[in-house]
Chain A
Amino acid sequence: MADAANVTVPSRSARTATSHRVVAIGNRYVLPSLAYAVLVVAALTMLIPFLWMVFTSFKPQQQIFKMPPVIWTTQYTIAHYMRAITRGNFHIYFKNSMIVTVSVTLLNVFVTALAGYAFARLQWRGKGIVFTIVLSVMMLPGLIALIPTFLIVKATPFAGGNNWLGQGGTGWLDSYPGLIVPMLGSAFDVFLFRQFFLALPTELEDAGRIDGCSEFAIFWRIIIPLSKAVLAVVALFTFQAAWNDFLWALVITQSDSMRTIQLGLTLFKSQHTIDWGPLMAGTTLATIPTVVLFLAFQRYFVQGIALTGIKG
């Protein structure tokens, strides 16, 4: 279509019209085929590492340590997955990651949606100041808070042998609450919800108020059902971030039974002289959940990235 317009461009003289036509016809074929060439090469470059990971995880041990590498085999084996479990406890790491990630996702979506609604639709004194504080938190690199957060989690009262002042024990270190609770309340997600709720029409809420609904009922029964798209976006992003997080788990877990899968990978790598088969099996396991979710819901991912405030 674009090219058709180009070809039929009104000409000032016959000569320029001809040269335009030549260029346009050249572009019509050259540009898309150039684009295809770029895209195919790039796509292969993107996919090969992933394919190599999966392939290595199913390849017999003796074929892994070969140069040149064995790039095709018919002798697939699940031995590496068995060894990832017997030598690396990857089934425990996977389970821990699932528990933490699902909890963080559900709680974070609820908490940030509620707050985003309060910032977008309720009228209250101090809203501007509180929102500015939330935005400032968004700017802090998580790293700044890392060390004191560790100390605060360690000083959680009545947990891990602590007294009411939070002394004497290890608090929430090396526990599920310690892995979950400090991860809640992403300022960015609050921001995303606020932007979405700001764009909804006010008539429905007003009708709800006149009918005597509580503010929570308005939020839960009227607003939430209208917000499935943004809920999906925040849930997916939270799941992905929580599943892939590793620094916090690295800092606060000590026992093997509390490790998450990302941490388990680095441990497995450093405990043995690198055993590539089981390591790639573990890595494949660590990759599957987020990749499957992404492939299933990629429409929401793309929407989410577009929602994050990029003006053309």
Chain B
Amino acid sequence: MAIATRTGQTGAVRPRRQGRFSLTRQEKAAIVFILPLMIPMTIYWIIPSLASLYYSLTNYSVVMPTAWVGLGNFRRMMDDGLFWRSIKNTVYFTVGNIPLTMLFGLILALSVNAGIHARNLFRVVFYLPLVTSTIALSMVWLWLFDPNFGLLNAFLKVLGIHPQMWLQSTSQAIPSIVIMSVWGGVGGAMIIYLAGLQGIPESLYEAARVDGANRWQLIRNITLPMLKPVTLYVLVTSIIGSFQIFGPIYAMTDGGPAFATTTIVHQIYVNGFRYFNMGYAAAQSWVLFLLLLGLSLFNLRLMRSGMEM
């Protein structure tokens, strides 16, 4: 509708174009405006992404002459016990992390939204870990998890529980990282759930109250069903994020003990930048990308439909 009124106005406003290859004033401006974005984006994102597809089909290793190996890297992955181990660990982490983060995020959002005082203060506190770097949080939790002098074992002792090895035990290492990740991530889930809660029309609640629903019924029959789209969004973005976990692994365990915490990205890093098997690492990163592609496309659709309301 804005366009209709605009084209009716003066020539200064209406884009004019003489020939097929001549540019309008706005087109000239647009080229200048997008180049500062498109140049770095092309050099440092688009070309490298395509190049990594090429590298994934070679044995590129910086130090040795490069040879074409076709699907050799992918075949090698099938027999790479560590790669399978890393997928298993990544899935284990994801399956532990996401339900807990979402559940606690929802509980916090409902609590903050329950008409309490100081809601802003609580919101700030819960979001604090999300503005802090993963590496800094990892250092703090490494200290909390310390088997000898850590605060967590001291706390367990008060409860009469034996000290645990946490990150230094093959069976507890991933659960420990899950604990830290849930602690660090609930604030994000909470904020998104809060936005979702504010999007629920008050009229729905009023109608239900007229019918005599109590507050538990309101939550069960209105709030939770209305939060479905938000839940889907949180779920999809969290899976994408969890599958790429690397920072805490690198900073706290470096994949150990005995490869109990090596994840897909950790394998890519180790192969690419420690052993300089960059062709193989590129192939692994494409496998990760393909694993997440479906989810990313779905997420993009969610975002676009959310934006074009």
Contacts and interface: CB of A to CB of B under 8 A. Distances in A.
Interface of A: 2, 5-6, 9-11, 16, 20, 23-24, 27, 31-32, 34-36, 38-39, 42-43, 45-50, 52-53, 56, 64-69, 110-112, 114-115, 117-119, 122-125, 127, 130, 133-135, 137-141, 143-149, 151-153, 181-182, 184-185, 187, 190-191, 195, 202, 206, 209-210, 212, 214-216, 219, 240, 243-244, 246-247, 250-251, 262-263, 265-266, 269, 274, 276, 279-280, 282-283, 286-287, 290-291, 293-295, 298, 301-302, 305-306, 308-312
Nearest to A54: B140
Interface in B115-163: 115-116, 122-129, 131-137, 139-144, 146, 148-149, 151, 153-154, 157
B44 interface: yes
Nearest to A30: B215
A106 to B, nearest CB: 12
A265 B37 contact: no
B235 to A, nearest CB: 13
B116 A35 contact: yes
> What is the interface of chain A mostly: helix, strand, loop, or mixed?
helix
B44 A181 contact: yes
A219 to B, nearest CB: 7
Given A148-B48, A247-B247, A274-B142, 14 more contacts: A9-B209, A64-B149, A67-B149, A115-B33, A115-B37, A124-B31, A137-B49, A184-B44, A185-B37, A190-B37, A215-B29, A295-B124, A301-B131, A312-B226
Contacts of A311: 199, 229, 305-306, 309
Nearest to A290: B131
Interface of B: 2, 6, 9-10, 12-13, 15, 24-34, 36-38, 40-41, 43-49, 51-52, 55, 104, 107-108, 110-112, 114-116, 122-129, 131-137, 139-144, 146, 148-149, 151, 153-154, 157, 183, 186-188, 191-192, 195-200, 205-206, 209-210, 212, 214-216, 226, 229-230, 233, 240, 244, 246-247, 250-251, 265, 268-269, 272-273, 278, 281-282, 285-286, 288-289, 292-293, 296-297, 299-300, 302-303, 305-307, 309
Contact of A139 (B12, B111, B297): B297
A111 B36 contact: yes
A310 B233 contact: yes
A212 B11 CA distance: 12
Contacts of A69: 149, 151, 154
Contacts of B226: 312
A279 B26 CA distance: 54
Q: Provide the main secondary structure of the chain B interface.
A: helix
Contact of B49 (A46, A145, A283): A145
A118 B49 contact: no
Contacts of B6: 202, 206
B112 A39 contact: yes
B306 A123 contact: no
Contact of A115 (B28, B34, B125): B34
B37 A111 contact: yes
